[in-house]
Structure 1
Amino acid sequence: MYLSLLITFMCLAGGVFSSSLFSPCKKNDLPCIETTVNDALPKIFAGIPELGIPKTDPQFVAVIDADLTALKYTFYNSTIYGYKNCKMSNLKINDDLTKISGEVLCSSLMMDGVYEMKGRLITLPIEGNGNYMFEGASFHVDFDIKLDKIKGSDGKTHLFIRKITYKAKPLTPIKFNFQNLFNGKEDLAAVVKKFAQENWLEITLLLQDPIWEASLDQLKAAVNKYLATFAIDDTILN
Structure 2
Amino acid sequence: MNAPATPDHVALVTGGNRGIGRAIAERLVRDGYRVAVTARSGEGPEGTLTVRADVNDGASLDAAVAQIEAELGPVTTIVANAGVTKDTLLMRMSDDDFTSVVDTNLGGAFRTVKRAIRSMLRAKHGRIILISSVSGLFGVAGQANYSASKAGLVGFARAITRELGGRGITANVVAPGFIESDMTAQLDEKTQKTYQTQIPAGRFGSADEIAGVVSWLASDDASYISGAVIPVDGGLGMGH
Q: TM-score range by the shorter chain?
A: under 0.3
Q: Which entry has the higher C-alpha Rg, 1 or 2?
A: 1
User: Which one has the bigger helix percentage?
Assistant: 2
TM-score normalised to the size of structure 1?
A: 0.25
